[in-house]
């Protein structure tokens, strides 16, 4: 339904009763078809006619059009301001002339002056049509947005209307949605007329194109399918903790039983695999690993890396890193084809996973032991035997030695009190010289005093920041916590590790956030 050509003919339609009534019928029909308010349609008609009237009477005029909602009668007025001596007859009117129109009007008020009806010329008609069409389109978009904003984060079903450059346009009944090419399951064959399900991940106001965005590749799509297929999840007896997908190939989902009497994995699998198979079929044969969640992250990562058998897991909670140790024969199983298994497990538990064999771990430990021993030998001038002894007993850094108590060192077999005193003194002296060197480097880098004096930043941190050209408190305040401690980003659908400036200092996210917020408070208030 559109606006018929009669509306814009060169006849004086404003004086023809049949056309007046037709206007109201058109407004009603368009409102019904587009599911928008009839009043809005009529308002847009008034705006369109006003626009056309300006081209007739002059653009400097302020035109108002009123359409009678019952009869369809159209009245055109010019808004004028009442003044003593009009200087512009298009915008002003004398009090005397205004009194003739409305005796109650006073100086400074506005008055509506009736204008004669007119025949629509081609240009005026086109102008009116454009204004009305634009208003209707905008109203339709706003209606679609309001109808579907509450359906975000749900599964929607519709008919494939057409394919555009690899994107799929889906008819949802009252609106159209788009499944972009990168949100499709790879190698999925979808044709016009097919009914499809997809996850609604966004509804937003767009000037052009579709407003409703769907995905069949999103991990949430799989989660929502499990909610539909597994009553225990729908009822809240089982909770989905996380999920990860390599669309069209493999996926992992981590589940937790709120009701401890339930087997969450078994419930998701269903009798003879019926429940999980229904999800697999919708995902075009995607293999799904269902992982039992645990408070112990070592258990979760062991389950997530199945079928590989894990020997040991070393955890760095602050840096959110895991070292997974296993045998040589389990290495390929843990990594998976093209790294798929470990990549999905990383996304699932939100930890950086470093997989190594027991042999590699042993070699790494030996290398770390040697490096720490060499550091003590070089900077404290001790022999290899004493250096190895200190590292073996947990005094692996000069910092630890500097802050240690005499009794702690004397307890070590082979270290006498005199030797212990000498070690602590040498550690204190080295640290002092090292701090002096760091301070000199900080000064040479040109760090401003506000940043240097910012509570919580150590000299080592300041040196690192200076080397990264972060020299002022404002520079520091503009950072995000992930830029300090590192994190992950999704690039082309893959989770990529982003290194942080202060990652080596083992700051927690809470500590990084606190440092940045205090810096912003100082910087923005100064």
pLDDT at 180: 92
Q: What is the token pair recorded at 419? A: 């030797």
Compute the mean pLDDT over every residue in the chain, rounded to the nearest whole number.
Answer: 83
Q: Which regions of 204-320 does DSSP assign to beta strands (E)?
A: 212-215, 238-246, 250-257, 287-292, 310-316
Q: What is the token pair recorded at 352? A: 């950086």
Rounded distance between C-alpha atoms, residue 47 and residue 441, angstroms:
69
* pLDDT (mean) for 111-134: 68
Picking from 295, 239, 228, the residue whose alpha carbon sits closest to that of residue 264 is 239
User: What confidence tier does 12 reach under pLDDT thresholds 50, 70, 90?
Assistant: very low
Q: What is the token pair recorded at 459? A: 């000299």
SS3 track for 297-335: HHHHHHHHCCCCCEEEEEEECCCCEEEEEECHHHHHHHH
Rounded distance between C-alpha atoms, residue 295 and residue 309, angstroms:
19
Phi, psi dihedrals of residue 62, rounded to the nearest 5°: -100, 110
- Domain segments of the chain as ranges: 5-144, 152-217, 225-354, 446-526
pLDDT at 1: 47
pLDDT at 11: 36
pLDDT at 481: 85
pTM greater than 0.75 (yes/no): no
Residue 15 clears pLDDT 50, i.e. is over it? no
Please tell me the chain's helix, strand, coil percentages from 3-state DSSP, rounded to the nearest 5.
Answer: 50, 20, 30
Q: What is the token pair recorded at 335? A: 């990594």
- In the CATH scheme, what is the code of domain 225-354? 3.30.300.20
21 backbone φψ class: left, alpha, beta (φ>0; ψ -120 to 50)? alpha
Residue with tokens 């989770």: 495
Q: Does domain 446-526 bear CATH number 1.10.150.20? A: yes
Task: Please measure the distance between the N-terminal and C-terminal CA atoms of the chain and give it in whole angstroms.
Answer: 61
How many CB atoms are located within 10 Å of the residue 204 CB?
11
pLDDT at 219: 93
pLDDT at 239: 94
∠ CA(250), CA(255), CA(259), 5° rounding?
155
pLDDT at 302: 92
* pLDDT (mean) for 262-272: 92
Distances from the Cα of 356 to the Cαs of 149, 299, 307, 314, 365, in angstroms? 47, 17, 16, 11, 12
- Hey, do 5-144 and 152-217 end up sharing a CATH topology, with the first three levels equal? no
- In the CATH scheme, what is the code of domain 152-217? 2.40.50.140
- In the CATH scheme, what is the code of domain 5-144? 3.30.1480.10
* Pairing mode of beta strands 167-171, 155-164: antiparallel
- Predicted confidence (pLDDT) per residue in 493-513, tens digit: 555 667 888 888 878 778 888
Picking from 455, 473, 450, 464, the residue whose alpha carbon sits closest to that of residue 514 is 455
Rounded distance between C-alpha atoms, residue 166 and residue 175, angstroms:
20
Q: What is the token pair recorded at 34? A: 């587009």
Residue 214 bridge partners (DSSP):
179, 200
Residue 48 clears pLDDT 50, i.e. is over it? yes
User: What confidence tier does 6 reach under pLDDT thresholds 50, 70, 90?
Assistant: very low
Q: Cα 24 vs. chain centroid, distance in angstroms?
A: 45
DSSP secondary structure code for residue 420 in this structure: H
Reduced to 3 states, what is the DSSP secondary structure of residue 64? strand
């Amino acid at each position: 339904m559109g606006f018929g050509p009669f509306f814009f003919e060169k006849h004086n339609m404003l004086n023809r009763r049949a056309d007046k009534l037709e206007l109201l019928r058109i407004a009603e029909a368009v409102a019904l078809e587009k599911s928008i308010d009839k009043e809005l349609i009529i308002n847009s008609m008034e705006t369109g006619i006003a626009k056309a009237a300006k081209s007739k009477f002059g653009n400097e005029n302020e035109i108002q059009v009123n359409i009678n909602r019952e009869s369809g009668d159209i009245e055109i007025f010019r808004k004028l301001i009442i003044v003593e001596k009009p200087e512009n007859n298009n915008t002003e009117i004398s009090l005397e002339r205004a009194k003739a129109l409305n005796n109650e009007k006073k100086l400074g008020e506005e008055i509506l002056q009736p204008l004669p009806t007119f025949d629509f010329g081609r240009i005026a008609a086109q102008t009116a049509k454009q204004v009305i069409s634009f208003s209707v389109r905008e109203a339709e978009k706003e209606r679609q947005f309001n109808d579907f904003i509450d359906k975000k984060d749900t599964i929607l079903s519709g008919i494939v209307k057409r394919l555009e450059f690899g994107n799929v346009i889906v008819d949802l009944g009252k609106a159209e949605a788009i499944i972009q090419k990168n949100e499709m399951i790879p190698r999925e064959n979808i044709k016009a007329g097919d009914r499809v399900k997809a996850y609604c991940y966004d509804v937003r106001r767009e000037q052009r194109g579709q407003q409703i965005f769907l995905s069949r590749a999103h991990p949430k799509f799989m989660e929502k399918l499990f909610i539909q297929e597994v009553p225990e999840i729908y009822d809240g007896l089982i909770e989905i903790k996380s999920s990860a997908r390599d669309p069209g190939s493999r996926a992992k989902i981590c589940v937790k039983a709120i009701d401890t009497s339930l087997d969450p994995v078994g419930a998701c699998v269903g009798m003879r695999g019926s429940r999980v198979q229904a999800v697999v079929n919708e995902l075009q044969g995607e293999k799904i690993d269902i992982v039992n969640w645990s408070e112990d992250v070592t258990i979760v990562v062991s389950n997530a890396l199945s079928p590989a058998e894990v020997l040991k897991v070393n955890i760095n909670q602050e840096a959110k890193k895991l070292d997974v140790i296993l045998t040589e024969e389990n290495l390929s199983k843990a990594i998976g084809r093209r790294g798929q298994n470990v990549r999905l497990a990383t996304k699932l538990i939100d930890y950086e996973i470093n997989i190594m064999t027991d042999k590699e771990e042993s070699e790494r430990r030996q290398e770390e032991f040697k490096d720490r021993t060499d550091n003590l030998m070089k900077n404290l001038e001790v022999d290899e035997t004493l250096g190895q002894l200190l590292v073996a007993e947990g005094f692996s850094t000069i910092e630890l030695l500097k802050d240690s108590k005499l009794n702690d060192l004397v307890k070590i077999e082979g270290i006498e009190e005199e030797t212990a005193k000498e070690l602590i003194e040498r550690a204190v002296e080295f640290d002092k010289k090292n701090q002096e060197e760091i301070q000199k480097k900080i000064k040479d880098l040109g760090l401003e005093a506000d940043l240097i004096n910012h509570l919580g930043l150590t000299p080592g941190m300041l040196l690192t920041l200076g080397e990264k050209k972060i020299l002022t408190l404002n520079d520091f305040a503009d950072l995000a916590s992930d830029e300090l401690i590192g994190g992950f980003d999704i690039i082309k659908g893959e989770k990529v590790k982003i290194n942080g400036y202060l990652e080596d200092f083992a700051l927690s996210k809470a500590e990084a956030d606190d440092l940045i917020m205090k810096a912003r408070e100082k910087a923005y208030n100064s």
